[in-house]
């Protein structure tokens, strides 16, 4: 049961371009130069009903552009997409009424009126029958603990409270496809966790298909078994999260804070088994294969004046970087040329 | 069963969006209107300042044209008392037809706040209609007393205004409101292409000032300018309803006027349909 089919989706923006300074500004009056910027390049994938897919990539990779095309906000330059049987950018009302795009940095609720009034407006827009509206609102209120917030104007809410309200507002019409663009950005850890478990729960209960972008690995780990990675608009990886993590987060970073940094380079290189090493003002950090983590850490603890030692997974950005650096990991058929 | 499989698990019982539901639209209008009113009341200070601004311009016009006409004199068939009435009613019509969306659209496109409006299964124009109506209703609280004060204070001539004129005026006013709203909404859509449309707005309003009749009654304008004005949509959005109210147009003349208003409205709606589709296609603002 395919919910989303994307076939060689391509988006190029035309942006004006000029050098800085007055001369260039005057020049641009006469002759305007533009540049083609490729945001999404021939991306293809399919997502089934009920799937939660992490959509990853560094800033500017083309994630948001892709989501906007799938939500019907942007027209692609070329390529096809079908979501719930519709072509999104034809913007049929029946399609818009069955999907939601939630952008962490974008306000969809009305700023000056109580949250509940915005919800009532959504009820009218999405033509939700009273009984359904009430039962969904009750459910969302309970799950996201909104009781105290419903009667406050949106402008009086904290960022986290607002995000909860935004999410609830976008789910009142029970969308079958949910696009979440950085839903936890700027939120504290507890709120991030709550939103994560809520999304998982929503997916479980309704069987809705969820596509999620996030810079927080924890979001992706908690929610997505599958991830799609894009970089410079190109699809680089499409597969299980465990595959991705296993393959590319095969290293860990050991960061050591030292009492005094007297060890010399040769000594340190021996201690860490020749793995890449960085010195900082307070100590060193070294990236080692997972299997060697314990051994190297033990050696460091035994032989250096260690104040503190931390073992970390590499951050998601660097995992993506590694996917990008490893061309053999590209699934066949997804490789793109030209553009 | 098969259809369920294609559309997904929770399709059953969903409303049919392929056709317009009037009760649903009415519910939406009620909700959006009260939301807009809550907003306007929250910023009542700003609204009051806007209303004061609306009153100042006719005040200036009245002082100037009364001086031009002089006591007991006339300019192109307008006595100084009639100038007072003309500009007082013009103020009311201006308040009820004016829209500010051309500036709003520039902001919407630049900041990406257009996006949420485009994600909903309802045309964004409905929200603007509600916001606009709400502002106007609230503004009337200031504009109507101001109009009465101007007429009484400056000795306006209301001897030709009877029930028939008021009724005829109301229809002309409604058509003028609809026409100007649609036309300026279409103009506002140019923000999709230009992202900075203030210059275009200023040009538009300068032309409107002359040809619409807010600077002076059309009768006062030179013959050539008046001829141009009458084949433009501008006087049908402002001067025409004012002239109907003052009884300066009557009988067949009024009916023809309605016809011209309807014609322009039809054209504007057609244009709206055409431009809107292209505008949405074009929507690709950075940070959209």
Give residue limits of the domains in chain B: 21-282
Q: Which of A192, A216, A246 is the last residue of a domain?
A: A246
In this predicted structure, the answer to whether residue B288 has a pLDDT above a threshold of 70 is: no
How many Å apart are CA B96 and CA B143, to the nearest integer? Answer: 10
Both structure tokens of B216: 């002076």
* Chain A nearest CA to B180, separation (Å): 26
Asked if A168 and A120 count as a contact pair (C-beta separation under 8 A), the reply is: no
> Would you call B175 exposed, middle or buried from its count of C-beta atoms within 10 A (0-12, 13-18, 19+)?
buried
- Provide the number of structural domains found in chain A: 2
Q: Does some domain include residue A223? A: yes
CB contact under 8 A, A117 and B112: no
3-state helix vs strand vs coil in chain A, percent to 5:
40, 30, 30
A233 and A292 fall within a common domain: no
Residue B114's pLDDT band, with cuts at 50, 70 and 90, is confident
Neighbour tally for A31: CB within 10 Å: 7
Highest mean pLDDT among B50-54, B211-215, B260-264: B260-264
CATH at residue A98: 3.40.50.300
Which run of H or E residues covers position B165?
A: helix B163-188
A315: DSSP letter: P
Asked if B238 and B93 count as a contact pair (C-beta separation under 8 A), the reply is: yes
CB contact under 8 A, A124 and B28: yes
A-chain CB neighbours of B121 within 8 Å are 93-94, 96-97, 125-126
Q: Does some domain include residue A331? A: no
A and B: number of Cβ contacts within 8 A: 121
Q: Report the mean per-residue pLDDT for chain B.
A: 87
Give me the pLDDT at residue A262, please.
65
Span B244-255, mean pLDDT?
Answer: 92
Span B193-202, mean pLDDT?
Answer: 79
* Chain B nearest CA to A220, separation (Å): 24
A199 and A56 fall within a common domain: yes
A179 and A240 fall within a common domain: yes
A124 and A148 fall within a common domain: yes
Asked if A324 and A236 count as a contact pair (C-beta separation under 8 A), the reply is: yes
- The string of DSSP letters for A181-244 reads ESTTTT--HHHHHHHHHHHHHHHHHH--EEEEE-S-HHHHHHH-SEEEEEETTEEEEEEEHHHH
A208 and A295 fall within a common domain: no
Give me the pLDDT at residue B3, please.
37
Q: How many residues does chain B have?
A: 288
Please give the ipTM for the structure prediction.
0.82
Q: Does some domain include residue A336? A: no
- Specify the range with the lowest mean pLDDT, choosing from A78-82, B39-43, B61-65, B95-99: B39-43
Of B7, B16, B288, Cβ closest to residue A85: B7
Share of chain B above pLDDT 90, in %: 50
Highest mean pLDDT among A217-226, B31-40, B209-218, B238-247: B238-247
How many Å apart are CA B116 and CA A108, to the nearest integer? Answer: 5
Q: Does some domain include residue A116? A: yes
Which of B114, B120, B123, B131 is best to mutate for the A interface (most A CBs within 10 A)? B120
Strand partners, A235: A230
A231 and A271 fall within a common domain: no
Nearest of B96, B70, B83, B75 to residue B157 by alpha carbon: B83
Asked if A230 and A236 count as a contact pair (C-beta separation under 8 A), the reply is: yes
Of B11, B28, B34, Cβ closest to residue A125: B28
A73 and A215 fall within a common domain: yes
A241 and A303 fall within a common domain: no
Which of A93, A135, A155 is best to mutate for the B interface (most B CBs within 10 A)? A93
CATH at residue A272: 3.30.70.980
A200 and A282 fall within a common domain: no
Give me the pLDDT at residue B228, please.
93
A68 and A185 fall within a common domain: yes
Residues 162-191 of A with CB under 8 A from B: 174, 176-177
Range of the domain at A297: 250-312
Both structure tokens of B89: 């009613």
How many Å apart are CA B160 and CA A295, to the nearest integer? Answer: 102
Both structure tokens of A304: 């250096």
* Chain B nearest CA to A122, separation (Å): 8
Of B24, B35, B115, Cβ closest to residue A127: B24
Segments of chain A scoring below 70 in pLDDT: 18-19, 28-30, 105-106, 245-247, 261-263, 315-318, 320-321, 323-339
Give me the pLDDT at residue A29, please.
66
Span B15-23, mean pLDDT?
Answer: 82
Span B272-280, mean pLDDT?
Answer: 91
């Amino acid at each position: 049961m395919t919910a989303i089919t994307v076939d060689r989706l391509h988006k190029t923006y035309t942006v004006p371009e000029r050098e800085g300074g007055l001369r260039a500004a005057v020049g641009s009056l006469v002759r305007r130069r533009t540049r083609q910027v490729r945001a999404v390049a021939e991306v293809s994938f399919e997502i089934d009903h009920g799937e939660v897919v992490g959509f990853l990539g560094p800033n500017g990779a083309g994630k948001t552009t892709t989501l906007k095309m799938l939500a019907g906000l942007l027209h692609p330059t070329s390529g096809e997409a079908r979501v719930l049987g519709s072509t999104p950018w034809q913007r049929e009302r029946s399609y818009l009424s069955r999907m939601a795009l939630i952008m962490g940095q974008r306000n969809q609720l009305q700023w000056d009126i109580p949250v509940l009034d915005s919800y009532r407006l959504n009820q009218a827009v999405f033509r939700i029958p009273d009984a359904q509206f009430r039962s969904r609102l009750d459910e969302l209120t309970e799950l996201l603990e909104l009781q105290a917030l419903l009667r406050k104007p949106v402008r009086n809410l904290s960022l986290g409270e607002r995000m909860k309200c935004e999410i609830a507002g976008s789910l009142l019409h029970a969308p079958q496809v949910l696009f979440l663009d950085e839903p936890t950005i700027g939120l504290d850890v507890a709120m991030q966790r709550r939103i994560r478990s809520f999304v998982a729960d929503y997916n479980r209960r309704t069987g809705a298909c969820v596509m999620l972008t996030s810079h927080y690995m924890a979001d992706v780990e908690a929610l997505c078994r599958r991830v799609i990675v894009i970089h410079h608009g190109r699809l680089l990886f499409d597969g299980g999260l465990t595959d991705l993590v296993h393959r590319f987060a095969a290293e860990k970073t050991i960061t050591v804070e030292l009492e005094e940094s007297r060890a010399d380079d040769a000594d340190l290189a021996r201690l860490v088994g020749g793995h890449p090493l960085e010195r900082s003002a307070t100590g060193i950090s070294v990236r080692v294969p997972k299997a060697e983590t314990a051994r190297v850490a033990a050696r460091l603890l035994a032989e250096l004046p260690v104040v503190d030692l931390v073992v970390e997974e590499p951050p998601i950005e660097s995992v993506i970087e590694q996917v990008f650096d490893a061309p053999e990991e590209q699934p066949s058929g997804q490789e793109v040329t030209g553009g | 069963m098969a259809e369920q499989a294609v559309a997904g698990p929770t399709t059953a019982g969903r409303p049919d969006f392929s056709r317009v539901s009037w009760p649903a639209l009415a519910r939406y209008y009620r909700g959006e209107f009260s939301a807009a009113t809550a907003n306007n009341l929250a910023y009542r200070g700003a609204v009051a300042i806007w209303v004061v601004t609306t009153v100042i311009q006719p005040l200036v016009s009245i002082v100037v044209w009364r001086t031009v006409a002089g006591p007991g004199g006339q300019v192109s068939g307008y006595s100084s008392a009639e100038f007072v009435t003309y500009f007082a009613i013009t103020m009311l019509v201006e308040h009820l037809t004016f829209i500010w969306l051309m500036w709003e659209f520039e902001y919407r496109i630049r900041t990406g706040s257009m996006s949420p409006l485009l994600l909903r299964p309802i045309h964004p124009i409905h929200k603007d209609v509600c916001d606009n109506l709400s502002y106007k209703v609230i503004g009337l609280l200031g504009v109507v007393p101001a109009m009465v004060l101007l007429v009484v204070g400056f000795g306006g001539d209301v001897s030709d205004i009877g029930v028939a004129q008021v009724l005829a005026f109301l229809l002309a006013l409604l058509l003028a409101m609809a026409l100007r709203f649609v036309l300026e909404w279409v103009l506002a859509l140019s923000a999709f292409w230009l992202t900075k449309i203030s210059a275009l707005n200023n040009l538009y309003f300068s032309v409107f000032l002359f040809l619409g009749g807010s600077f002076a009654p059309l009768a006062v304008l030179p013959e050539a300018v008046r001829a141009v004005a009458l084949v433009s949509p501008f006087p049908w959005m402002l001067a025409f309803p004012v002239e109907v109210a003052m009884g300066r147009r009557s009988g067949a003349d009024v009916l023809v006027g309605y016809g011209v208003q309807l014609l322009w409205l039809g054209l504007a709606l057609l244009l709206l349909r055409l431009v809107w589709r292209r505008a949405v296609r074009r929507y690709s603002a950075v940070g959209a």
